[in-house]
Amino acid sequence: MNKAWYRREPELYKEIWKAVQDAYPELSFIERDSDVLVAGYYVLFEGSQVYDRYLIEVELPTESPRGLPIVREIGGRIPREGDRHMEADGKACIVLPDAFWYEHPKGMSLLDFLDGPVRGFFAGQSLIELGIENPWPVGQWGHGYFGIIDFYSGVFGTKDPKVICRYLNLLKRGTIKTRRPCPCGSGIMLQKCHLELINTLRSRIPRDVAAKSEEGLLKFLAINRAASKIKGDN
């Protein structure tokens, strides 16, 4: 089993630890089993004024210091609801992974992640509690399946989850055959249709991310089929 990057590169880990501690003194680095977590109060500032804080836990990615961390709100303050971009286990849906990697193909440092997407997420939560409508920053996607459809509809020009699944199936593959019909449904061979777009996406979005999105959309389609069948039977 490969060691996590923070085991392989202890000096880099120390640099990142110091940068985060300097910027967020109420967060601490904690070792739990073989993982490293950043836990404590995430403080929101307006200038030098503290206007809110959230008790969080950040699980560092193991593959790279510029990977995508997992963030959980552990104070129980935010309802575990899709409208609040929260999972039942307290995981905060800070970003849509597909969109994150498309926009940041080289990843993002932990400090930049805390300063940017994490700040936008918790600022939005505070605004919701104040009764502000539409508090999310521009580019905030829907929750779960709907976020996947929202993002890829802008890329592929279709909201049809079946078509998006066909594209995702190519994005997750190690190699693709270009002499096959394009997933768009045009009937044209892939090499003369959307190959350039697919290659661009494959260079940005990790295969495992595309595979997980395909799996999510297939579940979405299965649920819809089951619901339609029940409705038809009635």
Phi, psi angle pair for 102, to nearest 5°: -65, -40
Whether the predicted pLDDT of 139 surpasses 60: no
Predicted confidence band of residue 1 (pLDDT cuts 50, 70, 90): low
Give pLDDT, residue 146.
87
**pLDDT tens digits along 75-92:** 999 999 988 999 999 999
Q: How far apart are CA 14 and CA 20, in angstroms?
A: 10
- Average pLDDT taken over every residue of the chain: 91
Q: Give mean pLDDT, residues 25-48.
A: 91
Instruction: Map residue 181 onto helix, strand or coil.
Output: strand
**Closest C-alpha among 4, 27, 201, 208 to residue 122:** 27
- Catalogue all structural domains in the chain, each as residue range(s) with its CATH number: 5-129 (3.10.110.10), 145-233 (no CATH)
Is residue 112 predicted with pLDDT exceeding 90?
A: yes
Predicted local distance difference test score (pLDDT) of residue 225: 78
**pLDDT tops 90 at residue 132:** no
3-state secondary structure of 131: coil
Q: From CA 161, how far away is CA 224, in angstroms rounded?
A: 11
CA-closest candidate to residue 54, choices 70, 36, 40, 68: 40
- pLDDT tens, 47-84? 888 999 999 999 999 999 999 999 999 999 999 998 89
